[in-house]
Structure 1
Amino acid sequence: MGHSHHHSHSHGHHHPDLKGRNLIISIFLNILITIAQVIGGLISGSLSLLSDALHNFSDVLSLIVSYIANLLAKKPSSTNKTFGYKRAEIIAAFVNASALMIVAVILIIEAIERFQNPQEVESNLVIWLSLLGIAANGFSVLLLKKDADSNMNMKSAYLHLLTDMMASVAVLVGGILMKYFQWFWVDPALTLAIAIYLIYMGFDLLKQSTRVLMLFTPESIKVQEIVEAIKKIEPIKNVHHVHVWQLNEDEVHLEAHIDFNEDIRLSEFDAILERIEEEVYHNHGINHVNIQPEFGKCDSKQVIVQD
């Protein structure tokens, strides 16, 4: 069984402590906004303020989950956890996305009820609290921006905060419209808009994290192309029993059985393995390769074996 690792340590691993610290700051800021907005929403009677608070609270949860996942992902592997906690962040992204969708549905139901009987809203309070939301979320967004590009978990946290900031801006505009024009229907309309946006954002993340958890082949990888490329190497006869999956954001694994035309020595196999690794790493971004060499063995020769 040839097995190898190609490691690239370039993405976002330079300041693990910073990532954690920035998350902690964002968590506290969001707890603060949530409490202020819940109290404000209840006093002012504004549903959009409450929906923004709920949105912020879903953020607090997601940030806490992201923080824990971030810590777990660093824990070493052991004999009973051979991959360590490398998937913690993917599960965190999945949980976050699911939570977003549920929150959104609750908000939509509330908004529809509010459309049927509009209520007066104390707009001054709404305006001040939405400004607080904009300031705190804006600050958090800046803190997490750098890590968001390289990491699904941090990206989920970043998106949460960004949508929050947008929602707070919308609530601010709504507050101003209610104050000067008495347009109280703006309140449930905004709530609806925030909720629909939550579903839209959450769905994509849910899909991505589900693909990884289900061990689906990453979308960018074409298995057939890999098989053709490996088959070109002498003296390989065929490639079968192929599995390609993504462990987490940094690791993609390929596992395959390879039939040889001749009974080669192990040292020759090692040289061929090197070539296979180079090929799949540079052209397909696969950094863990596990090959089972075979000669004249009677097993299924299909590329994808239904075990």
Structure 2
Amino acid sequence: MGHSREDHSHGHSHNHSNLRGRNLIISILLNILITVAQVIGGLASGSLSLLSDALHNFSDVLSLIVSYIATLLAKRQASTNKTFGYKRAEIIAAFVNAATLIVVAVILIKEASVRFLEPQKIESDVVIWLSLLGIVANGFSVLLLKKDSKSNMNMRSAYLHLLTDMLASVAVLIGGLLMKFYEVYWIDAALTFAIAIYLIFVGYDLLKEATRVLMLFTPNTIQVQQIVDEVDLIDGVKNIHHIHIWQLNEDEVHLEAHVDFNEDIRLSEFDNILQEIEEVVYHKFGINHVTIQPEHGKSDSKQIIVQD
């Protein structure tokens, strides 16, 4: 028998989702503008760091489109052949976006290594002006997505793409100034390499987080033994075992378990105990979907974790 809690009204969630979609559309358009400008400028100036920034911006465009599609899918209702709906669409988008960050970083490292051995003279004025464009446009996009990035993995993946690109543009600007006033052309490749390392750093953490959710791992914030200890204290409960805990998406954490009772209780008594269990796991562990299989004297495994 199961139960779920919803913390927000459907209307509020729908409006919030529409706002996310609008912010993503604005960010997509800004990044298309930056990408086209930087490709033209990078080819004209011969700057690898500017072209690498353009490549990163292009990956941003693709990632933002993936995030936007995921936001649309997440609004779809459940059906008989999709009983959870598309609630995991945004987690998949976060996984894809994190993976692309790492792929782009590897490409940049390869290109930077070649350019570092053979530095080339670069038209620094073009680099400076286009990096400023990148800072302003990406900075605005970062501000648009910052709030949602704190509570939604999909939006966090898009936010990280834009934040790293803004930082990359800052690095390119510094490189452009050094090339203009000091003719230090090897700095172009060095900055490209630094940008790539940072992309790997932020991409790996997000990839690991999204993978945990997709693999149905127990959230890091939850200790199963603590749940067992709390539920075992409830009057009438003999033990809780055969536990599964997973995160469906950013808003839902599910608990599924067997509960052995001291006595052969009535269904109405079970409902009262189930409510107590729901209160405990919700308020102490943030679990908002609970499914309990009641048992009395059943000869199954009483281990906390059972491999099905």
TM-score (norm 1): 0.97
Within 5 Å, which residues of 2 pair with 1:234-273? 234-273=235-274
Is residue 2:26 matched to residue 1:25?
yes
State the secondary structure of the residue aligned to 1:157: helix
Distance 1:15 1:155 in 2: 15
State the secondary structure of the residue aligned to 2:156: helix
Is residue 2:113 matched to residue 1:112?
yes
1:103 alignment partner in structure 2: 104
Quote the sequence identity (%): 74
Is residue 2:136 matched to residue 1:128?
no
Within 5 Å, which residues of 2 pair with 1:1-307? 2-9=1-8, 13=13, 14-307=15-308
- Offset at residue 15 of structure 1 (A): 2.5
Distance 1:280 1:175 in 2: 55
Distance 2:307 2:279 in 1: 28
Distance 1:21 1:237 in 2: 52
Distance 1:96 1:266 in 2: 47
Task: Give the gaps of 5 or more residues in structure 2.
Answer: none
Amino acid at match of 1:130: S
> What is the aligned residue count?
306
TM-score (norm 2): 0.97
Amino acid at match of 1:204: D
Higher mean C-alpha displacement, 202-211 vs 228-237: 228-237
Distance 1:281 1:275 in 2: 10
Q: With CA pairs under 8 Å and 6+ residues apart, which has the higher RCO, 1 or 2?
A: 1
Amino acid at match of 2:253: V
Kindly tell me: are residues 10 and 209 of structure 1, through their superposed partners in 2, closer, same or farther at Cα, counting changes over 3 Å?
farther
State the secondary structure of the residue aligned to 2:258: strand
Kindly tell me: are residues 33 and 280 of structure 1, through their superposed partners in 2, closer, same or farther at Cα, counting changes over 3 Å?
same
State the secondary structure of the residue aligned to 1:264: coil
- Offset at residue 146 of structure 1 (A): 1.9
Distance 2:303 2:142 in 1: 49
Distance 1:202 1:37 in 2: 23
- Offset at residue 10 of structure 1 (A): 7.9
Distance 1:203 1:297 in 2: 45
State the secondary structure of the residue aligned to 2:129: helix
Task: Give the gaps of 5 or more residues in structure 1.
Answer: none
State the secondary structure of the residue aligned to 1:245: strand
The CA RMSD measured in Å over matched residues stands at 1.3
